[in-house]
């Protein structure tokens, strides 16, 4: 695993706004409607399907991610794109004295997450909304987490919103599947991703919307950012002390960024 604690590894400043425009133009129909239908469909079996699709690695990656989050009793934590609350539940196991708010646009995923929280006897606040327009005051949270969802967002706006709701000195912890810098790895990963989406959809009897997204999941990675570029984008929106850890040939990365 490679750890980077320095500045950009990219020559020149990227035109992030133009790149985000191209992503939004390509994926607007999927982002605005199709993904909600897909997650409505897969919410009851999302966690097990994620492990199947990742060959059993998804839970381990989440543990590595949540273990990296620095917490103190009384911290206010916002989990953006919280899904079924896997991150929030893991953080509360580590530090029961924190206050966790789960934020997600999909009510079906959060319904599962609220049930899991009740079964474990913990409290996680639940808010449904758009990650590009967080309904929280400036500087409200000590920690924000965002895992396995940023490739489905206009990240320039989403990261700016995250920075706004963090207190000065607060940290964003980010993890996602990214675009590998190695073109061979990128192509192999695209073939694998399309195949595993098909197999998972077949195994769990997913609906037609999930099947229709097979090309989208590959294209979303192809048009997304590498680990180094995510670091540059975080600095671009005003974060400092950006660090990253890269694994699986650049397919996966964890980032931490601090609001100065």
- On the 0-12 / 13-18 / 19+ scale of CB atoms within 10 A, 51 is middle
Binning pLDDT at 50, 70 and 90, where does residue 3 land?
very low
Q: Are 84 and 108 in contact (CB under 8 A)?
A: no
Q: Residue 14 is part of a domain; what is its CATH number?
A: 3.40.50.150
Does position 248 have pLDDT exceeding 50, yes or no? yes
- On the 0-12 / 13-18 / 19+ scale of CB atoms within 10 A, 65 is buried
Does position 27 have pLDDT exceeding 60, yes or no? yes
Model-level pTM? Answer: 0.89
14: its two tokens:
């990227």
Domains in the chain: how many in total? 1
Query: pLDDT tens across 223-244, in order?
Result: 999 999 999 999 999 999 999 9
- Core vs surface per residue 98-111: b (16+ CB within 10 A) or e: bbbbbbbbbebbbe
Q: What is the mean pLDDT of residues 170-193?
A: 89
Q: What is the mean pLDDT of residues 158-187?
A: 94
Q: Which domain holds residue 34?
A: 2-259
User: Quick one: pLDDT at residue 10?
Assistant: 43
Query: pLDDT tens across 52-72, in order?
Result: 777 677 888 899 999 999 999
């Amino acid at each position: 695993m490679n750890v980077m604690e320095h500045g950009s590894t990219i020559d020149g400043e990227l035109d992030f706004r133009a790149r985000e425009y191209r992503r939004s133009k390509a994926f607007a129909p999927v982002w605005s409607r199709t993904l909600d239908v897909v997650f409505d469909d897969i919410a009851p079996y999302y966690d097990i399907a994620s492990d199947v699709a990742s060959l059993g690695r998804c839970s381990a990656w989440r543990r590595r991610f949540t273990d990296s989050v620095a917490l103190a009793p009384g911290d206010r934590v916002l989990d953006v794109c919280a899904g079924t609350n896997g991150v929030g539940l893991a953080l509360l196991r580590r530090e029961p004295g924190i206050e966790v708010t789960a934020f997600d646009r999909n009510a079906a995923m959060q319904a599962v997450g609220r049930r899991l929280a009740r079964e474990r006897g913990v409290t996680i606040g639940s808010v449904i909304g758009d990650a590009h327009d967080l309904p929280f005051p400036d500087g409200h949270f000590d920690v924000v987490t965002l895992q396995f969802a940023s490739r489905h967002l206009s990240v320039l706006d989403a990261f700016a919103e995250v920075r706004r709701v963090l207190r000065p000195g607060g940290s964003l912890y980010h993890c996602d599947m990214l675009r590998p810098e190695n073109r061979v790895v990128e192509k192999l990963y695209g073939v694998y991703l399309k195949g595993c989406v098909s197999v998972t959809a077949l195994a769990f009897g997913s609906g037609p919307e999930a099947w229709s997204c097979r090309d989208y999941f590959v294209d979303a990675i192809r048009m997304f950012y590498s680990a180094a570029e995510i670091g540059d984008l975080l600095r671009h929106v005003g974060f400092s002390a950006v660090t990253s850890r890269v694994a699986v040939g650049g397919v996966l990365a964890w980032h931490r960024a601090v609001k100065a």
